[in-house]
Amino acid sequence: MNNAEIAARDLNALWHPCTQMKDHEQLPLIPIRRGTGVWLEDFDGNRYIDAISSWWVNLFGHANPHISRRVNRQMQELEHVILAGFTHEAVVTLSEKLIALTPVGLTRCFYAENGSSAVEVALKMSFHYWKNQGHSGKCEFVNLSNSYHGETLGALSVGDVELYKHTYEPLLLKTRTVAAPDDYYREPGETRQDYAARRFAEMEATLERHGERICAVIVEPLVQCAGYMRMHHPEYLSWLRAACDRYQVHLIADECAVGFGRTGTLFACEQAGITPDFMCLAKGLTGGFLPLSAVLTNDDVYGAFYDDYESLRGFLHSHSYTGNPLACAAALGTLELFEQSDVLGRNRRLARAMADATAHFRDHPHVADVRQCGMILAIEMVKDKHTRESYPWRERRGLTVYRHGLENQALLRPLGNVVYFMPPYVINEQQINHLADVAWRGIQLATKD
Ligand code: PMP
């Protein structure tokens, strides 16, 4: 079997996610035969460094032997059981561990199957909490501009990336969008913190004016990943936490992409010293092995649903694979890898290596910004470095970088004109340097006219 054969069969039978299928008339589809560590290998024997952790899920490398053994062992005993009325050891241990690891005050775990469904759970729980407390006038959500929280209709409603949202607008919940404290837009000479404060004034005014109708504010702490890897100062989150308390509004922290060490701390909220009312976890939770998500919340929220059945205050939400034992075993294996070595310490060294390898990108005539938060580093290509005028999206400059990556052992998948690295934590410095070289040459090609 070779690439061409599998690709031909695929294109006869599949419809791929987030893909205009006609692109594959020009763009090769890459069938992967196996993965080891940071490497993916296709059926023709070509290898690619997975610089984007396969949509940000992989933390400790492909086919990680420890997680693999953990899932294997679980598979011999129990593959799945309904989580209503029944339970199992893996889900209990995982819940205890997540409660111990997440910010103080988060004491309950509710499970779902992916990031979007975790966001749906948090939105529904928040609305339902206020209803149970007699505040049925609260039925709106506040989000930040350029945010992303998933593709199901509720999650899409609280996102703001036009490319994914615009078409479906008539179907979506009405959401109040407040300008994000996105560092990229600060004035020359303005500090990140000053800019965050300026932006926060709008959030404060919105909560003050409309707090009575608002269930929750939802944010991606520190990095808006799908929104082109835009970053903000942690203090914004501390101010937001305090304001949510002042105006009796929940704070939902969507850590689906930034959780589990991505930003330098185990959870991004730690850098602001805050505990949200709901924390959504997914992606890296299972180290990239199996789909699983969790929503953590506090005693107050839990207590507002706890009553006699006849009160009909219970949270009657479920998914078939909620708390699946194999996925929980993968999550336990992942957490054990954090326990077994100083992952965050090693990530600090890797993050420095990523910064060093890309320091010269700032001087590139078509690079407006090189930004970094822990193990996420993003490079923004622009048409005009001085005015920061973007390249028109129709030119699809990022695709040139993607193609160049594939020809040079790298899976780089730019978001529009933003080239980024978000690699598995098992990458080494030599591989980081290779990615930087490929990205540099890719950007040269993409911006040459
Ligand atoms: N929230 C955030 C912050 C995300 O980045 C994503 C996925 N990119 C989601 C939610 C949705 O997760 P999933 O794709 O697993 O539904």
Residues 358-407: pLDDT tens digits?
A: 999 999 999 999 999 999 999 999 999 999 999 999 999 999 999 999 99
Protein residue with least CA distance to atom 13, ligand 1: 115
pLDDT tens per residue across span 185-222: 999 999 999 999 999 999 999 999 999 999 999 999 99
Residue closest via CA to ligand 1's atom 10 equals: 149
Q: Is 150 in the pocket of ligand 1 (CB under 6 A)?
A: yes
Q: What is the helix, strand, coil percentage profile of the chain, to 5?
A: 45, 15, 40
Say if ligand 1 is within 6 A of residue 288 CB.
no
Question: Does residue 301 carry a pLDDT above 90?
Answer: yes
Q: How many whole angstroms separate alpha carbon 224 and alpha carbon 221?
A: 8
Q: Which helix (H) or strand (E) holds 101?
A: helix 89-101
Three-state SS across 261-323? CCCCCCCHHHHHCCCCCEEEECHHHHCCCCCCEEEEECHHHHHHHCCCHHHCCCCCCCCCCCC
Calculate the alpha carbon distances from 9 to 2, 24, 406 in Å: 11, 13, 21
> How many alpha carbons fall within 13 Å on the CB side of residue 211?
16
CA of 143 to the centre of ligand 1 (A): 15
Average pLDDT over residues 113-125: 98
Q: Which atom of ligand 1 is nearest to the CA of 115?
A: 12
CA 244 to centroid of chain Cα atoms = 23
What is the average per-residue pLDDT within 1-7? 97
Q: Is 254 in the pocket of ligand 1 (CB under 6 A)?
A: yes
Among residues 229, 255, 233, 213, the alpha carbon closest in space to that of 106 is found at 255
| pLDDT(50) > 90 | yes
Percent of the chain, pLDDT > 90? Answer: 100
**Ligand 1 atom at shortest distance from the alpha carbon of 119:** 10
Domains and CATH numbers, the chain: 3-63+344-446 (3.90.1150.10), 68-340 (3.40.640.10)
CA of residue 17 to ligand 1 center, whole Å: 13
* Mean pLDDT for the stretch of residues 331-338: 98
Which residue's CA is the closest to the ligand 1 atom numbered 2? 149
The two structure tokens encoding residue 161 = 């990336």
Rounded distance from Cα 116 to ligand 1 centre (Å): 6
Q: Is the pTM of this model over 0.85?
A: yes
CA of 384 to the centre of ligand 1 (A): 31
Closest approach atom of ligand 1 to CA 293: 15
CA 208 to ligand 1 center in whole angstroms: 29
| Amino acid code (one letter) for 276 | P
CA-CA distance, 202 to 393, in Å (whole number)? Answer: 29
Q: What is the overall mean pLDDT for the chain?
A: 98
- Average pLDDT over every residue of 305-318: 97
Does the C-beta of 223 come closer than 6 Å to ligand 1?
no
What region does 428 belong to: left with phi over 0, alpha with psi -120 to 50, or beta?
A: beta
pLDDT higher than 90, residue 94: yes
- Quote the pLDDT of residue 317: 97
Segment 51-68 shows an average pLDDT of 98
Q: What is the DSSP letter of 144?
A: E
Give the residue, out of 57, 149, 292, with the most ligand 1 atoms within 8 A of its beta carbon, to mutate for a pocket test: 149
Binding site membership of 120 for ligand 1 (Cβ less than 6 Å)? no
User: Residue 70: CB within 6 Å of ligand 1?
Assistant: no
Task: Output b/e per residue, 173-189; b: 16+ Cβ within 10 A.
Answer: eebbbbebbbbbebeee
Tens-place pLDDT, residues 154-167: 999 999 999 999 99
Average of per-residue pLDDT across 310-329: 97
Residue 447 has pLDDT above 90, yes or no: yes
Ligand 1 pocket check for 262: Cβ under 6 Å:
no
pLDDT at 449: 84
